[in-house]
Structure formats: C-alpha cells, structure tokens
Amino acid sequence: NYVKLDGTIGCMVNGAGLAMATMDIIKLYGGEPANFLDVGGGADKEKVTEAFKIILRDPNVEAILV
C-alpha cells in the first residue's frame, strides 16, 4: 500500500494503525509525511528493498522513517 503525500519525510511502516500514528507524530513535531507506505506483515528483504526504492522515487523525500 502506497499513498503519496506532499511532505518530505518518507514513512515505511507495518500496519495501517502504525502508519497513522507515525504520520501524527511527524506532524506533531512540525514535519510533513511524504507518503503512506505499509509493507504489511511478513515483509522479507526483497519487499523492504522495493519499498525503499518506491519511497526514494519521490524527489521531495529528504529522510525516511522506518
């Protein structure tokens, strides 16, 4: 699951609830999330690697929070 947003902080999470909480914390401290990317349960190294590639395709991403 990937949803592009307008911020600069990429988010790779496991579960929609964690994604929402992570985005809330980023915003609480003045940041803006660049995406919502849920790798889901049982993510292996290939899935995580592909997730990083997806996040890094966005030129606005300055940092990634995993």
- Cα–Cα distance measured from residue 17 to residue 46, given in angstroms and rounded to the nearest whole number: 23
Per-residue CA distances from 26 to 44, 45, 49, 58 (Å) = 26, 25, 23, 18
Q: How confident is the model over 18-66, as pLDDT tens digits? A: 889 999 999 999 999 999 899 988 889 999 999 999 999 999 999 999 9
pLDDT at 42: 84
pLDDT at 16: 86
Total-model pTM: 0.89
**For the chain, which domains are there?**
2-65 (3.40.50.261)
- Cα–Cα distance measured from residue 16 to residue 38, given in angstroms and rounded to the nearest whole number: 7
Which residues neighbour 32 within 8 Å (Cβ) at sequence distance 6 or greater? 5, 6, 7, 8, 9, 26
pLDDT at 46: 95
